[in-house]
């Protein structure tokens, strides 16, 4: 015990404490990064779901616009048919006089 080297023991103890503190800090950072990654993955999944719903809504809106255009076209064709019918009926009526 005569070779008791106090500076060596103190420096070694300090080094061990620093290594332990560094390890604890790295574990804390790793846990935070894992939580961040998990949160980002959940956010991305949520955004994907919203995008899919938006695409479906856009598709529905396009379908509604197309239906509206087709309905207007059908109404115009029906008006033409009615006008042709009236015109044909008018000509028949005028021929009978």
pLDDT band at 87 (very low <50, low <70, confident <90, very high): confident
Place of tokens 């008018």: 90
pLDDT band at 1 (very low <50, low <70, confident <90, very high): very low
**The pLDDT of residue 73 is above 60:** yes
DSSP string, the chain: -TT--HHHHHHHHHHHHHHHHHHHHHHHHHHHHHHHHHHHHHHHHHHHHHHHHHHHHHHHHHHHHHHHHHHHHHHHHHHHHHHHHHHHHHHHHHHH-
Among residues of the chain, what percentage have pLDDT more than 90? 29
**Dist. CA 14–CA 38, nearest whole Å:** 36
Mean pLDDT of 41-55: 88
The answer to whether the pTM exceeds 0.85 is no
């Amino acid at each position: 015990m005569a070779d008791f080297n106090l500076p060596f023991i103190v420096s070694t103890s300090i080094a061990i404490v620093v290594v332990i503190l560094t390890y604890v800090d790295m574990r804390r950072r790793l846990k935070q990064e894992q939580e961040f990654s998990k949160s980002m993955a959940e956010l991305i999944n949520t955004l994907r779901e919203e995008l899919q719903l938006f695409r479906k809504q856009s598709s529905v809106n396009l379908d509604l616009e197309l239906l509206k255009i087709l309905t207007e076209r059908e109404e115009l064709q029906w008006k033409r048919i009615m006008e042709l019918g009236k015109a044909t009926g008018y000509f028949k009526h005028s021929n009978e006089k």
